[in-house]
Structure formats: structure tokens, C-alpha cells
Structure 1
Amino acid sequence: MEPHIQEQKTDYRSLGVSGLGGWLILIQIGLFLTIILLAVQLMQNTLPALTSEMWDVFVSKDSEYYHVLWGPLIIFEAIYNVVFLLFTIYIVVTFYRKKAILPRLMIVYYSVSLVLYTVDYILVLQIPMMRELEDGSGIQEIVKSVITCAIWIPYFIKSERVHNTFVR
């Protein structure tokens, strides 16, 4: 007869650092700033561009600012901003509930941000007027996103605090 082996559950929080402190404070600040910046972007740029008057300026063939990609670009940015705002709010809720899925959500969040910044930049460069106005800020955003991914994705994979905090 085999002896009955009782399975033990490990309380990861007792093994080392845990909680929403440490470097996770920077993540919290970043998430709240992202929510604010996306809301401002929507209110100041995206929603005004969707009004019939502004829409006609960019997509009417009679307009001096017309380009075939303006419509798709404006719609892409509107959808991106709304979806990312909602996704960021979901991440904040998940963060404070200390859900085990949070590290994966953050990896997706940073990766998708990089891809979408890059796609947006490529689309913007296809419009001659926007290409002329490009001052390097688009490339700077992509570089910042690459650096962010290089720092925070490994952090969410390897951090003891992350592993011990997001276990539910």
C-alpha cells in the first residue's frame, strides 16, 4: 500500500516580497497616466476629427487636404484609442484584484502598444502632408515603446514580487 501523500498548497506571499509596492508603483502610475492621456487624446483629437465638418475636410475629394488614407487612419486611431482605454481600465481593475492573469495582460498590453504605434506611424507616413510635418516624434514613441517592452516584459516574467502578488 502506498502512503497517502497530502498535497500542500504554497502561500507564495510568505516566500518573499509581494504586494503592490516596489516597481509595481511605477506600473500603477503608468496605467493611470495612460487612462488620462487616452481620454485627452479622444476628447481633443479623435472625437473632433469624427465630426462631419472635420471629416469632410480630410475625406472629401474636393478638399485641399484630401488623401485616400485619412478616413482609414482616423477610424483606426479612434478604434485603437477607445479599445485601449477600455483595456487599460480592465487592467487596472485586474491589477487591484491581484488576479493571476495580470502579468500576461501586461505583456499583451506592452506588445500590442508597440505594434499599434508602429502601424500608426507607417500609416501616417503614407499621407504626404503628415510626412512633411513629421518631426521625429513618431519614431521617438516607437523607441520609447521598444524600451518599455525591453524593461517591463521581462519584469513581469521574472519578478518575484509579481509572481508572489498575482496568484489569485
Structure 2
Amino acid sequence: MTKAATDGTGNELKGIAGWLYLVALGVVVSPIRVFIDYYPMLNDYFSGAYDSLTTNPNAKSYIPHFETLIKAELIGNALILILAVGLAVLFFSKHRWFPRTYIFLAAFTPIFLVTDLWMAATLIPGAEVLNSDMVGEIVRSLLAACIWIPYMLVSKRVNNTFRRQNK
């Protein structure tokens, strides 16, 4: 049996405390934020707002391959939303899969954003796809990944709270 890490005063580094409070805030806010960003696109897709852009090559506003891009964005955002909700469940149940899932989502998000940007630029030549909002999202997700992935990997509190068998 290994000795648990302590904070120097004899208190075991375990449970939701310290930097995990910031992680908790992100885990709670993230599904809400993703849903708020995702819902208008989902609503537009199912209400037929994209129909002239996706189905009628004779329409003035038709964009070839736009439907492929929209479907890829819908699937990617749905995956991020499902993972964000699942992440909250894993976090508050202190499940051992939380750190791995967090790392996957933190790595997947910037990869998805850059891939989406590349797909939009490739499928819709001449379109201005790189704007300040997109740059901000990519930078934010990369910074979050650079900060929180190493934290999940090396933190003694994360290890004690999520990976160690609780007795």
C-alpha cells in the first residue's frame, strides 16, 4: 500500500479543492456554453434554413459541399456536448475515467476547431472563414489544453481523487 501525498501539513491531497475548483467551474459551465453555441446551428439545420445552400444547385446562394461541412460540424459539436455532459457526471462522481476523458476532450476540441476551419476553407473557396471569434476559440482551447492536460497528468490531488481506489 502506497502512502498518499499530503499538502505538507499532514492533510491528504484528495477531493475537490485547490485547482480542482477551477476545473469544477469549467466542467459545470462547459456543457451550458457548448449547448448555447450549438443550439442555433442545430435549430437552423432542422428548420430548413440551410436548404437553398445545400440542396439546390440552381439557387443563387448554393454552395457546393456546404451540407458536408454542416453535418461534420453538427456531429463534432454533438460529440463535444455529449462528452462535456459525461465529463460533469464523471467529475462529480469522482470516477477514475475523469482525467482520461478530460484530457481527450481538451485535446479533441482544438483539433476539431482547426479541422473545421480547414474544411470550411477547402470546401468553400474564397469564403472568409478565419475571423476573430474563430481565432479566439482556437487560442482559448489550445491554452486550456496546454494548462489542464499536464495538470491532469501530474497533479497529486487529481491522482488521489480520481485514480486511487477510495477505501
User: What's 1:4 paired with?
Assistant: none
In structure 1, give the amino acid aligned to 2:51: D
- Check conservation: 1:113, 1:145, Cα contact below 8 A: yes
In structure 1, give the amino acid aligned to 2:143: I
User: What's 2:116 paired with?
Assistant: 120
Using the alignment, how far apart are the partners of 1:65 and 1:128 within structure 2? 14
Aligned-residue Cα RMSD (Å) equals: 2.1
User: What's 1:3 paired with?
Assistant: none
Q: How does 1:4-83 map to 2 (within 5 A)?
A: 9-10=1-2, 12=4, 16-52=12-48, 54-59=49-54, 60-83=56-79
2:152 is aligned, of 124, 149, 156, to 156
Using the alignment, how far apart are the partners of 1:115 and 1:141 within structure 2? 11
Work out the number of aligned pairs and report it.
Answer: 158
Instruction: Confirm whether residue 110 of structure 1 aligns to residue 106 of structure 2.
Output: yes
Segments of 4+ in structure 1 off by > 6 A? none
The structure-2 alpha-carbon separation of the partners of 1:11 and 1:66, relative to structure 1 and needing over 3 Å to count, comes to farther
User: Unpaired runs of 5+ in structure 1?
Assistant: 1-8
For residue 50 of structure 2, give the secondary structure of its aligned residue in structure 1. helix
Using the alignment, how far apart are the partners of 2:27 and 2:126 within structure 1? 33
Give the superposition deviation at 1:150.
0.8
In structure 1, give the amino acid aligned to 2:4: Y
In structure 1, give the amino acid aligned to 2:90: T
| CA deviation vs aligned residue, 1:55-85 (integer Å, no higher than 9, x gap) | 3121121223222221011111111122221
Using the alignment, how far apart are the partners of 1:25 and 1:129 within structure 2? 44
In our comparison, the structure showing a higher alpha carbon Rg is: 1
User: What's 2:140 paired with?
Assistant: 144
- Check conservation: 1:12, 1:164, Cα contact below 8 A: yes
The structure-2 alpha-carbon separation of the partners of 1:11 and 1:69, relative to structure 1 and needing over 3 Å to count, comes to farther
Q: Which has the higher contact order (CA 8 A, sep 6+)?
A: 1
For residue 65 of structure 1, give the secondary structure of its aligned residue in structure 2. coil
Identity over aligned pairs, percent: 25
| CA deviation vs aligned residue, 1:95-145 (integer Å, no higher than 9, x gap) | 1111122111111111111110111111222324641x6423222222222
Using the alignment, how far apart are the partners of 2:135 and 2:38 within structure 1? 21
User: What's 2:85 paired with?
Assistant: 89
Give the superposition deviation at 1:36.
0.9
Using the alignment, how far apart are the partners of 2:17 and 2:87 within structure 1? 17
